[in-house]
Amino acid sequence: MEIPKEDVAEINELRSVEQRQLVEELILQLHEIGAVKLGNFKLKSGVMSPIYVDLRVLPSHPRVLERVVDSMWRCLTASVGEQEARKRFTHVCGVPYGALPFAAAIAIKHQVPMVICRKEAKDYGTKSLVEGVFKKDEKVLILEDVITSGISIQETSTNLRSAGLTVEEAVVFLDRQQGGRQRLAALEGGLAVTVHAVTSLRQMLETLKAHGRIEDSLLDSINAYLASMAQVSPAAAATTAAAAEKPKVLAFAERVDKCQSAVGKKLLRLMEQKKSNLSVAADVTSKSELLTLADKLGPHICMLKTHADIVRDWDANTGKELKELADKHHFLLFEDRKFADIGYVAQQQYGGGPFGICDWADVVTVHLVAGASVVTSLKETAAQKGQERGALLIAQMSTADAASKQEEGSVERALAAARAHTDFVVGFICQENVLAKNPEESASFLYCTPGVRIGSQGDGLGQTYRTPEMVIDPVAAAREYQEKAWAAYTARCSASQ
């Protein structure tokens, strides 16, 4: 039997009235348990606010938590019905970490699979940002307690999408009415998120005032705050939030204890002592040129990058002589061999052969086209020889057409291998910080960026780290690069304080 349209409208209106009453009761409960605080508070976005909603206390009040979660579920399902709403997602995920109890409660009560999204990947266990059982392209409903700028929801959706999941909607309990919902809805390129909110900051204030929970003077202050925030565009609010959340850039000395690799620790200390984060590519073809360059540039560099197989007269003593110069001037030797073969072959290339690389090179580069077993093989070879060695994994190349030819999954494979071998992997060859989203983990690795130059010239072969200055006066050029690179590093550290 079909229900007449006028009766449907009346039923929906009754539901709407009932929902408003339930929300008002819930707001009063939240105030009673101290989840709604009045005063002067600094928000995550960095903005000062006269009202603060702290739903992290809810797990200590399970009955109130249950009511909040029920209100969020009704917010999502009221207009279309539970059956239809359930078709729009297969999993739920709480924004880490305050909304995890909401997701867990809904997962249990409504039997919806849950995934957990971390803020940063760990270096143990699965080492994944997203934990749980799911399939590619399955849809996730994000749950959050409060939305201000929307940055937290956007970051969570980005991490979920990077794991192959789809995100289209989110449900929050409170919208602070500072443009977050509108900003997320306006994102382009398939990144938009529709946010449903149980209540708003203004409704919360009106409820508290109606029940004598807030004085007129404080209400005026809060209304003035809301009016001032209404003048801030969503984009500007997001920029402020992002700046407030920008992590501190740790100095090299501060990162020593975070680094798991002995060679990485040595390099961090060395850079701090010499005030140099410069690595120079010694792409010369004779032994005399190589040793002369190492001796002249040694005082200004932290690493000398070599290509042993292009030195035409390399002999059994070359590696030893390079090592003596490295000890004399306190820099590391970095053989850019790009090991990429199967384990056994890589072991022979590293531990023996005409170059005896493991005997003199502190660091080597590794390409993971044959899998992470090559890292295991190199690590075992160094241990057998009693050498303290490390590897830089190639995540991104520096050639001019690298962006278009970058092999799919190379960054992910490099990260996985690094996490599995933190005692041997020093860091990455890359064009950007491939762990920028995970500041804590990022500080434990180093990032070597080839192709950096002061001038605009390249070498005409797709590479970009040869300049006329380096050829004509290598010492002067090295000194200039050392000073500029160190200045850029110290400025970046200072800017994050």
Whole-number pLDDT of residue 373: 87
pLDDT of residue 49: 78
- Does 21 show up as a binding residue in the annotation? no
pLDDT at 19: 78
Catalytic residues: 336, 338, 341
Q: Is 255 annotated as a binding residue?
A: no
Taking phi first (over 0 means left), then psi (-120 to 50 degrees means alpha), and beta for anything else, what does residue 138 get? Answer: beta
pLDDT > 70? residue 11: no
- Is residue 452 predicted with pLDDT exceeding 70? no
Residue 398 annotated as lining a ligand binding site:
yes
Residue 484 annotated as binding?
A: no
Per-residue pLDDT at 27: 94
Cβ count within 10 A of residue 458: 16
37-57 confidence digits (pLDDT tens)? 887 887 665 667 788 899 999
With bands split at pLDDT 50, 70 and 90, how would you rate the model's confidence at 6?
Answer: very low
List the chain domain ranges: 5-236, 252-495
pLDDT above 60 (res 61)? yes
Token duo for residue 458: 């390249």
- pLDDT for 218: 78
Q: What is the mean pLDDT of the chain?
A: 84
* Four-residue CA torsion sign, 79, 82, 88, 93: positive
Answer whether CATH 3.40.50.2020 is correct for domain 5-236: yes
- The CATH fold of domain 252-495: TIM Barrel (3.20.20)
Tell me which of 3-17, 78-92, 158-172, 206-220 is least confident: 3-17
Give the confidence band of 495 by pLDDT, cuts at 50, 70, 90.
low
Please determine whether the domains at 5-236 and 252-495 fall in the same fold group of CATH. Answer: no
pLDDT over threshold 80, residue 344: yes
Query: Is 453 marked as binding a ligand?
Result: yes
Is the pLDDT at 178 greater than 60? The verdict is yes
Structure confidence by residue, pLDDT tens digits, 225-244 = 777 766 555 555 555 555 54
